[in-house]
Structure 1
Amino acid sequence: MEFDVGARLRAVRKARKMSQREMATKSGITNGMISLIEGNKTSPSISSLKKILEALDLTLSEFFESDAAVVDKFVFRHNELEKITPEQVDGAGINPLSSAATLRRLGYSQGSSLLMLYETYEPGADTGEPYTHEGEEAGFVVEGELLLEVDGEVEVLQVGDGYKFASTKPHRFRNIGSERCVVISACTPPTF
């Protein structure tokens, strides 16, 4: 399932009767960048999207929640995992590394106290500036290697290594290897 970040952001901004310029001022993200994101010309880093959503008074989970009715099911095939970071349009040249990180959400955040993600980081992919949110998160590297920065401390994780930390500490993920990195993670409460 593809999630159209640009269309969703534009719809939410317009519903709040906010111009791109007002949102840029309130979020600290340039008007040009917001225009590129809304036009799906670039994908925002997680930290940039978080700043934009804070300006809209939305959580990441609220932003990415689909309007589809939540179905009571317990198995989700890989192609059913909602992709919450769209592919970057080639040639946009803005924040190129963040587009190489793909997060796929298991299930629905509505009515759930747990978020599970299947995260893929292509070589060089980076979540951007360290960011924070409510709760705690944990995960395991199942393929490749990952640089994890938490509250200014940096560690490199290999296959089989795991992490767990309070999400209120500034954190950032980056694939420093030459191969793709896959992480299975959990976060509570749901923020995506």
Structure 2
Amino acid sequence: MPKIGAKLRELRRRRDLSVRELAIRSGISHSTISLIERDKMSPSVDTLGAVLDALGTTLTGFFSDLQSSLPYSPFYASTDLVEIGNQDTISYRVIGLDHPNRQMLMLHERYAPSGDSGELTHSAQEAGMVISGAVEVAVGNQKRVLRPGDGYYFDSRLPHRFRNVHNSHSEILSAITPPTY
């Protein structure tokens, strides 16, 4: 997890505010703000949100350029892909889970025969391409069976569903931004 204290302190100083002034504006105690700025305490989302609101910024804006100090490689062997699904029904393997400041979710999806995601909605945009098999993709009131080389791109706030209609496994390579799924 990246250290946020120095960046928070920089934002406060840029606005020429003391810790006490920021505490009064945000409703968060000055001791809590001091601990956060010194990376002695990890704030809750609500606490950090209140402090950032008082500084005139948002959580998204604050984290958009914050870089992790953890080392990472831009390359991932198949054994490095983290499973976040169920290998027996629908496998979702994440590419680049440890990438600092990751702004998209890149997935290798593998659907067992008759695998069905059920209806989904989330705040993002989603795109993908079928690599093998045949997948019925439904978005809103539209539905189509996609085969290898066919793709999709849609607003994920629309109800959507993926269903393997092939007699064997089907695979999709997909991306979701922001990574909300």
TM-score by length of structure 2 reads 0.58
> How far, CA to CA, are the matches of 1:136 and 1:160 in structure 2?
20
SS in structure 1 at match of 2:94: strand
CA distance in 2, matches of 1:107, 1:186: 11
Shift of 1:70: 5.1
1:121 touches 1:180 (CA, 8 Å); kept in 2? Answer: yes
Structure with bigger RCO (C-alpha 8 Å, 6+ apart): 1
The answer for unaligned runs of 5 or more in structure 2 is 1-68
Q: Equivalences for 1:149-160 in 2 at 5 Å?
A: 149-160=138-149
Partner of 1:172: 161
Instruction: Work out whether residues 107 and 173 of structure 2, in 8 Å CA contact, stay in contact via their aligned partners in 1.
Output: yes
Whichever residue aligns with residue 85 of structure 1, its letter is: G
Alpha-carbon offset, residue 71 of structure 1: 3.7
* Alpha-carbon distance change, 170 to 83 in structure 1, aligned in 2, over 3 angstroms: same
Q: Verify: 1:113 aligned to 2:113, yes or no.
A: no
Larger Rg: 2
Equivalence map 1:113-132=2 (5 Å): 113-128=103-118, 130-132=119-121
Partners in 2 of 1:134 and 1:169 — Cα distance? 9
Instruction: Give the aligned partner of residue 129 of structure 2.
Output: 140
Q: Which runs of 5+ in 1 are unaligned?
A: 1-68, 88-98
Letter in 1 for 2:171: V
SS in 2 for 1:164: strand
Report the equivalent of 1:5: none
**Residues 70 and 108 in structure 1, CA contact (< 8 A), matched pair in contact too:** no
* Residue 77 (structure 1) aligns with: 77
Question: Given that residues 116 and 162 in structure 2 are in contact (C-alpha distance below 8 angstroms), is that contact kept between their aligned partners in structure 1?
Answer: yes
Describe the SS at the equivalent of 1:178.
Answer: coil
Identity among equivalent positions (%) equals 36
How many residues are treated as equivalent by the alignment?
Answer: 112
**TM-score relative to the length of structure 1:** 0.55
- How far did 1:152 drift? 2.3
